[in-house]
Amino acid sequence: MTVWLAVECPDCHSTEISKNGKSSEGKQRFLCKNSECLRRTFILDNSHPGRSRKTKKQMVEMSLNGGGIRDIARVLRVGCPTIIRELKKRNLSSPRSIKKS
């Protein structure tokens, strides 16, 4: 019995998708054929929660609201180095880099 799964790009929501091999973990990788899409390849079910854009956004928001690294790690179930790395990318690791309005 064949089951069809409708796949769409998480960024542009295009349905012009093709298979693009497998990841090192053996999960199916997909390729978005929309030329205007910023993200070309993606995996539907990521096993690492710290890699999703939603989690990264939550990390930044929680740190701006005064959450500590360990508190954020416990709530989002990611490692402390992941949070530190993301904050360094956004240059939010020091309080002086936050602009006051």
53 and 28 in one domain?
no
Domain interval for residue 60: 49-96
- Let me know whether 57 and 40 are in one domain: no
d(CA 58, CA 72): 9
pLDDT truncated to tens, each residue of the chain (101 aa)? 677 878 888 888 888 889 889 988 888 899 998 888 887 888 887 777 777 788 889 999 999 999 899 999 999 999 999 999 988 888 765 555 455 54
On whether residue 78 sits in a domain, the answer given is yes
Same structural domain for residues 54 and 30? no
- Residue 92 shares a structural domain with residue 78: yes
Per DSSP (E only), the strands in 53-99 are none
Contacts of 18 (CB under 8 A, 6+ apart): 30, 31, 33
71 with 34, same domain? no
Q: Cβ(24)–Cβ(17) under 8 Å? A: no
Predicted confidence at residue 95, as pLDDT, reads: 54
pTM, full prediction: 0.54
